[in-house]
Amino acid sequence: MTSRPRTRAKVLLRVLLAAGAILAIALVARAYVQQNRDLESARSDLAKLDSLIPEERTSANVVPEGESTPSPVINIDGRDYVGILEIPSLDVRLPIAASWRPESPRPGAYSGILERGTLTIGGPNTAGQLGRLTETADGDRFTITDVTGRVFTFEVATIETVKSDEKAKILEKVEPWDVSLFADTFSGQEFRVLRGTAVPVFNDN
């Protein structure tokens, strides 16, 4: 008589496990679809932003001293952008929104000013965006083009890990870094932070 309840319990357990597996697969699939939509939306805005930035691009230097005026922006479909981030070693080229929020589907300025060497950019940790920062190597070059057509070039200096409850450390300038990029990990417990130093441009004149 005791075998039937045990059999039913085993069947119920299997059903629950199967249902849980199906739900997990469905959630992963939904997240994947949403990530692709976000990336396509970002690329659509990138194309529009690219067409609005002057075609003639000029290399520019970071100048730490000077007036800290807000970065110029271009508005696209109600969203303000301050420039374009390009990381060739990761095949990443994305628009930079004027502000960053944790739930934002594209990179955005979290703090600081590009030309003053204080800019910090946060972004999604997904493929095609900022989810592969740890795959860069020291010395890899990347650029940020502002909306006036100035191109600032940087080199990867280091990659740091910052705990989520110590987020203020992302803005700490312990070394002479000129830009920081960050994204949280999938667990949400940490941030991966890429620190970059500016590559100077020498005028021939």
**pLDDT of res. 32:** 45
The mean per-residue pLDDT over the stretch 182-205 comes to 87
Q: Is the pLDDT of residue 24 over 90?
A: no
Q: Residue ranges of the domains in the chain?
A: 1-204
**pLDDT of res. 171:** 87
- pLDDT tens-digit map of 78-105: 999 999 999 999 999 999 999 988 877 8
Q: Is the pLDDT of residue 27 over 50?
A: no
Beta carbons of 170 and 191 less than 8 angstroms apart: yes
Alpha-carbon gap, residue 30 to 24, rounded angstroms: 10
Q: Is the pLDDT of residue 33 over 60?
A: no
**pLDDT of res. 126:** 81
DSSP letters, the chain, are --HHHHHHHHHHHHHHHHHHHHHHHHHHHHHHHHHHHHHHHHHHHHHHHHHHS-SS-EEE----SS--PPPP-EEETTEEEEEEEEEGGGTEEEEEESS--TT-SS-EEEES-GGGT-EEEE---STTTTTTGGG--TT-EEEEEETTSEEEEEEEEEEEEEEGGGGGGGG--SS--SEEEEEE-TTSSEEEEEEEEE-------
Alpha-carbon gap, residue 123 to 94, rounded angstroms: 10
Q: In this predicted model, which residue has the larger pLDDT, 38 or 107? A: 107
Q: In this predicted model, which residue has the larger pLDDT, 27 or 139? A: 139
Q: Rounded to whole angstroms, what are the CA distances from 40 to 45, 50, 64, 109? A: 9, 15, 35, 20
Q: Is the pLDDT of residue 147 over 90?
A: yes
Would you place residue 198 in the very low, low, confident or very high pLDDT band (cuts 50, 70, 90)?
very high
Q: Which CATH superfamily is domain 1-204 in?
A: Sortase (2.40.260.10)
Beta carbons of 82 and 147 less than 8 angstroms apart: yes
**Identity (one letter) of the amino acid at 71?**
S
- pLDDT tens-digit map of 162-181: 998 888 888 887 778 999 99
Q: Is the pLDDT of residue 190 over 60?
A: yes
The mean per-residue pLDDT over the stretch 171-198 comes to 89
Q: Is the pLDDT of residue 12 over 80?
A: no
Hey, which residues does 197 pair with through a beta bridge? 155
Q: In this predicted model, which residue has the larger pLDDT, 89 or 203? A: 89
